[in-house]
A and B are shown apart, each in its own frame.
Chain A
Amino acid sequence: MSCERSSENADKQTGNRTGLLSWWHRLRCDVCRRTFAVDRMIERGSAQMRATVAPPDSLARVLAAVGCAPSSQFYASDRATREALARSLALVGIGIFVTALATPQYPDSALFGGSQFTLKSAAGAAGFAALLGLFWYLKPVAAALLEGVPGLISYRKVCLIASAAGAAILWMVPLLNGHVSPPAAIALGIGLNAVLALASTILGGYLVEQAQRIGASGRLGAFHQAAGHLAGMAAPLLGFGAGHFVAPPVAATLLLGFGAVAAFLFPGSALVVHRPEGIKAQLTAIKQARELWQVALMLVLVVLPSNFDSLLHSQQVERGFTDAQHTQLNSIAQAATLVAILAYSVLCKRVRLQSLLPAGIIGNAVGTLLYLGYGDPIGFPTAIAIEILNGLAAALIMVTLFDLAVRAVPRQCAYLGYAILMSVHNLALSMSNVVTASLRLPFPSVVMLSALCSTFALAVVVRLPSALISRREGEPGSGSLPALPAV
């Protein structure tokens, strides 16, 4: 019994099975289905074998044999880990905070403060915001450029500093010109997003490298999220709100400051990443990394139905909330999000992802359903309660998904793999806003549809490899589950 399309007969590497046609063929072909099952067994078996740990006293015995004090294992491992974690947290935290703050978003950015930018319809506003963030969906291109140009990846630090400096210069243009026309503001916004997306790609890849090395995917992922939300809270206070022209000098100063921090903290060019595999091998490995695509699917399933900001804003206006109240509600939601993220950085060491993921998905759906309260006239205190509860629930699932994303990126593909996942997340977030704003449905129906669709992610959770989700943070075997690389 044989099949011409079987990856074995085609003399191909395991895992040649991600295409839709292959999937369709496999549904009908017993040989290919069995080959697929065997390949999966090899992948999972290898991952489980990687989880082998040495006996507790083994390291102390080896240290004694080589003449090191037995206690030095704690000194060496804990201190090195603490140092690496502190450096990573500082760099990623400051970097994400500054890039998130400096990212021009519609309608909340100083760049788009004029009345000529006021878009009446929710769908129009969502569409404009999605167009503005174009380069945030193209992060894999930046990562492929970094990995594809020989030697460029060794100069990540230079690229990061150049991005920060470039963004600082672009932010100063409105100040130097005095006035910015709408087309120039749009061009500036897109340009700023391009350089900041590059900086964010480098920071994301660095985060994954460090998280997989020191086994801190939960804490670093949570910090990544927290820094972004902190920037959201700080933006109005630092004058980044629409119409405030304090923003350009503040943004430029912060970006240049971040460049200086990166120059000091980011590993230098001497620390060349060992990359025997080129971009082609990385693409092949990523193509075969089943768990990475599963996480991407989960991101789509959770994020795509959950963002109806533009529609909610319209609903809040309809219910008589002022702009000031809208800003307050946003800040309260951000604060609740921060609390959930901080809680997660503790929770991830105690609870496994296999429990956190279903709980987070169900919690997120319930949190979304709370917006049904906007179907009737609603008081400001009730709106605050909804923002707090939904903020907690939504943040818990997002931070859990970010943890999962860091774990799912194959080793040696940190930049490309994470960039793909983040682009999927960004695109889903924007599209979600556009789609929900364009639906010709009453607000309560959109809310119910959103809650229902987000629970579809539960179907993916049960199919995730146990080696990926059965560990708590810090337990042995931390790191990624790479697909079988090309041979």
Chain B
Amino acid sequence: MDDGEWAKLIAAGDERERSRFVTTFHGQIYRWLRYLCASADAAQELTQDTFVEALQAISRFEGRASISTWLHRVAYYRYTHWLRERRRDLQWLAPLEAADATIDTAGGSNWESLCLKEALAQLSEEHRDTFVLHYVQQLSVLEVAVVLSVPAGTVQSRLFHARKRLRELLRDGLDGQCSGRSAADPRPNDNKSVHEVIIS
């Protein structure tokens, strides 16, 4: 059964296929939104909204991309909408921003992931999103291009610059400037100080 046939079954209201659809992609979409939002509650809410919207719109799925890519696109649309609303609200609630916009430690407190998250937080939004879609969500360049609605060349360029910048930032981390590790201790540690790093 290819994605197009599966989408038709889901659109026809087959409960088993709807459950399978949600069960198959739930973890992947939650993980991505959790990273984008940096908040477990917001990620849960957006994951829910994404699947509700996707199931309503699945009859319009044309099969030009895989169903996973299409779902990422829906999730990204929900996220940008949420972000716009949140930014508007934060104009009036500025003091809350600092408290909320922290890098969460989802994905474990391993030294490498903490340093990588800290470095990613210093990239521009578009570079960060592209990098996470490609390396963490494991979407191909073409799939990332579909999700972000940009040409594949732009994705390649963003990935190149994101990697270049990450190398610079993480090289500093290797010199002991990464919060996940002290300069004196070359081994990864479980210091949780990076929990409080603020997104710039």
In the complex, the answer to whether A61 meets B19 with C-beta atoms within 8 Å is no
With an 8 A cutoff between CB atoms, is A462 at the interface? Answer: no
What is the 8 Å Cβ interface bit string for chain B, positions 1-43, against chain A (1 contact, 0 not)?
1100000000000011011101100110011001100001000
In the complex, the answer to whether B22 meets A68 with C-beta atoms within 8 Å is yes
Given A49-B136, A277-B140: A54 touches B26 (CB 8 Å cut-off): yes
For B, the interface residue count at a CB cutoff of 8 angstroms equals 54
Complex Cα–Cα for A35 and B174 (A): 10
What is the 8 Å Cβ interface bit string for chain A, positions 111-137, against chain B (1 contact, 0 not)?
000000000000000000000000000
Complex Cα–Cα for A80 and B23 (A): 10
Residues on B with C-beta less than 8 A from A150 are none
What is the 8 Å Cβ interface bit string for chain A, positions 1-42, against chain B (1 contact, 0 not)?
000000010000110000000000000000000110111011
Residues on A with C-beta less than 8 A from B1 are 270-271
Interface members, chain B 145-174 (any A CB < 8 Å): 155-156, 159-160, 163-164, 166-167, 170-171, 173-174
Chain A nearest CB from B19 CB (Å) reads 4
Identify the closest chain B residue to A68 (Cβ): B19
In the complex, the answer to whether A49 meets B48 with C-beta atoms within 8 Å is no
Complex Cα–Cα for A227 and B106 (A): 40
In the complex, the answer to whether B170 meets A62 with C-beta atoms within 8 Å is no
Q: Which of A70-78, A85-93, A257-265, A290-298 forms contacts with chain B?
A: A70-78
Identify the closest chain B residue to A53 (Cβ): B27
CB < 8 Å: which of B51, B141, B167 contacts A487? B141
Given A39-B167, A50-B107, A76-B16: A59 touches B26 (CB 8 Å cut-off): yes
With an 8 A cutoff between CB atoms, is A326 at the interface? Answer: no
With an 8 A cutoff between CB atoms, is B177 at the interface? Answer: no
Residues on A with C-beta less than 8 A from B59 are none
Chain A nearest CB from B108 CB (Å) reads 5
In the complex, the answer to whether B27 meets A63 with C-beta atoms within 8 Å is no
* Inter-chain contact total with CB atoms closer than 8 Å: 152
CB < 8 Å: which of B15, B22, B35, B173 contacts A49? B35
Complex Cα–Cα for A68 and B174 (A): 48
Complex Cα–Cα for A479 and B101 (A): 31
With an 8 A cutoff between CB atoms, is A276 at the interface? Answer: yes
Complex Cα–Cα for A487 and B19 (A): 35
Complex Cα–Cα for A80 and B22 (A): 13
With an 8 A cutoff between CB atoms, is A274 at the interface? Answer: yes
Chain B's interface: helix, strand, loop or mixed, by majority? helix
Residues on A with C-beta less than 8 A from B18 are 66-68
In the complex, the answer to whether A68 meets B66 with C-beta atoms within 8 Å is no
With an 8 A cutoff between CB atoms, is B44 at the interface? Answer: yes
For A, the interface residue count at a CB cutoff of 8 angstroms equals 51
In the complex, the answer to whether A72 meets B160 with C-beta atoms within 8 Å is no
Q: A48-B116, A54-B31 are in contact. List 5 more A-B contacts (CB 8 A).
A: A38-B167, A59-B23, A61-B48, A76-B23, A476-B27
Pull 25 A–B residue pairs with CB atoms less than 8 Å apart, ordered by A.
Answer: A38-B170, A41-B174, A42-B135, A42-B163, A42-B166, A45-B112, A48-B107, A48-B112, A49-B35, A49-B136, A50-B107, A51-B107, A54-B31, A54-B47, A58-B44, A59-B23, A59-B27, A62-B47, A63-B23, A65-B48, A66-B52, A68-B22, A72-B16, A76-B20, A487-B160
Contact residues of B with A, CB < 8 Å?
1-2, 15-16, 18-20, 22-23, 26-27, 30-31, 34-35, 40, 44, 47-48, 51-52, 55, 66, 106-108, 110, 112-117, 132, 134-136, 138, 140-143, 155-156, 159-160, 163-164, 166-167, 170-171, 173-174
Contact residues of A with B, CB < 8 Å?
8, 13-14, 34-35, 37-39, 41-42, 44-46, 48-55, 58-59, 61-63, 65-69, 72-73, 75-77, 80, 270-272, 274, 276-277, 411-412, 466, 476, 482, 484-485, 487
